[in-house]
Amino acid sequence: MRKSEGRTTEGELLFSAIVLGLLAFALVWAAVQPREPLAWLYPLAVSLALWLAHIVLGRLELCADELILPLIAVPLLLSIAVLYHLDRRSAFWQVIWAILGLGSALAVVAFLPSVASLRRWWPLFLVLGLALLATTLFFGVEVYGARSWLVVGPVRFQPSEPAKVLFSLALAGYLAGRKELLMVRGWRVGILTLPHPAYFGPLVLVLLLALALMVGQRDLGTALLIFGLFACELYVAAPRLDYLFLGLVALAGGGFVGYRFFDHVRARIDVWLNPWAQAGGSGYQLVQSILAVSAGGILGAGFGQGQAQLIPAVTTDLTFAAWAEETGLAGSLALVALYLILTERGFRAALAANDDFSALVGVGLTSLFALQSLVILGGALRLIPLTGLTLPLFNYGGSSLVSTLISFGFLLLLSAEGPAA
């Protein structure tokens, strides 16, 4: 791995991000009642964890991307401020999960010799990912209509979150060894010429099994993300337009079947098409989200001045609506721009990888981050049906936050292995 001569840029940007986060929290803390002096430990603890991460990266002397950590810090610290206004208990647990996630990300960077060293373990990652999805069928509890949660003592988490990271690694391992075979057309199906079933078949079977587990749990958001992950990694490994066409056909077909045969899918789509007709019932959440976003105007109501507490599950599903109400169009565009830059840094790390497996891992993890952000932002703005996903790094969600930070740990390690960014 390449050695770093210092992480001055990262330190300066991270300091600015911490100042921004503390200022946002100060404005919220001054606006809400009752004021709790000890609540200042929330942003200070996360700031300290971020600065320690910066120090550790410097001590490791790796030439990892110096923009990733500061870019992560901004939504992470802003989420503490927004969540403190919405639900102080969620803000407390967000701090705990953030520290745990940052520690896990640093463990990936510090103890893995390289991303490529994981290539031979891809079958194990696949089995573990499927096993995690299957556990909720036997031991899961239902939350907001989805049986995708496990409860261990006081902790509730979604096994699908680490499963998505495992699927990224497993799929990268499978495709890296078979990408040339997937480009060969030798099996004709109607007007399409596909690779031999021996190479393409296992990929489709695993995808169908994962999607079946998600449908059985009524976790539509995760099913959509897994499908998107497979489509993105497959196209990068074997860039054929007919694969994209098949993916779009499968997505449309799956949506049609879901609407016809699954009540919860039909309810989501009906609410999306006309939430106002069900504003007092199943459409209440989406209607309140739309009203909150529109109430923000250009500059917003101000930190701590919004009324987004009226939105059901606002801390886990629609924290972006609360942000839009308090910071307006300006703040919303700034947050979206930040997520776009993070996505660009992830793909940059993938493009700089020295081997196919590492590149596909980077593409998969970055695609998951981008797709999940796009799906929940689109749902909050009524561009697509709303799903029960979290906005990475911003909404409350322990398993999601830890898994996202671990993903960025892999991307940091990946950026240290390739040419200078």
For residue 21, being part of any structural domain is answered with no
**Res. 94: pLDDT tops 90:** yes
Give the residue with greater pLDDT, 285 vs 182: 285
Residue 5 confidence (pLDDT)? 57
**Which of 132-136, 139-143, 239-243 is most confident?**
132-136
pLDDT digits (tens, 9 = 90+) for 345-377: 999 999 888 889 999 999 999 999 999 999 899
Whether the pTM exceeds 0.85: the reply is yes
Answer whether residue 193 is part of any domain.
yes
Residue 117 has pLDDT above 50, yes or no: yes
- Choose among 362, 337, 338, 364: nearest CA to 351: 362
Confidence bin at 148 (pLDDT 50/70/90): low
Going by pLDDT thresholds of 50, 70 and 90, the confidence category of residue 200 is low
Residue 189 pLDDT grade (very low, low, confident, very high; cuts 50, 70, 90): low
Q: In this prediction, what percent of the chain has a pLDDT beyond 90?
A: 43
The Cα 393–Cα 76 span in angstroms is 5
Q: Average of pLDDT values for 244-250?
A: 78
| Cβ proximity of 59 and 37 under 8 Å | no
pLDDT of residue 101: 95
Which tens digit of pLDDT belongs to each residue from 264-285? Answer: 778 888 888 888 888 878 888 8
pLDDT for the residue 205: 79
Q: What confidence score (pLDDT) does residue 267 get?
A: 81
Q: Which amino acid is at 108?
A: V
Q: Strand 141-143: give its sheet, edge to edge.
A: 141-143, 146-152, 155-157
Q: Say if 414 falls within a structural domain.
A: yes
Phi then psi dihedrals of residue 364, to 5 deg: -65, -50
Model confidence at 421: pLDDT above 50: no
Q: Confirm whether 395 is domain-assigned.
A: yes
Determine the structural domain holding residue 392 and report its residue range: 122-421
Query: Does the structure show a pLDDT above 60 at 71?
Result: yes
Classify residue 25: in a domain, yes or no. Answer: no
Residue 368: per-residue pLDDT: 93
Domain count, the chain: 1
Lowest mean pLDDT among 133-137, 183-187, 216-220, 395-399: 183-187
87 inside domain: no
Closest by CA to 179, choosing from 234, 216, 241, is 234
Buried b (16+ CB within 10 A) or exposed e, 243-253: beebbeebeee
Q: Is residue 261 predicted with pLDDT exceeding 90?
A: no
Task: Evaluate if residue 328 carries a pLDDT over 50.
Answer: yes
Q: What is the mean pLDDT of residues 39-43?
A: 94
Q: How far apart are CA 390 and CA 210, in angstroms?
A: 20
* Residue 134 in domain: yes
Q: Is the pLDDT of residue 187 over 70?
A: no
**What mean pLDDT is reported for the chain?**
85
The structure tokens listed for 157 are 């988490």
Q: Tokens 């969620």, residue?
A: 90
For position 365, what pLDDT does the model report? Answer: 95
Q: Is residue 13 situated within a structural domain?
A: no
| CB-based contacts of 71, cutoff 8 Å, min separation 6 | 338, 341, 342, 345
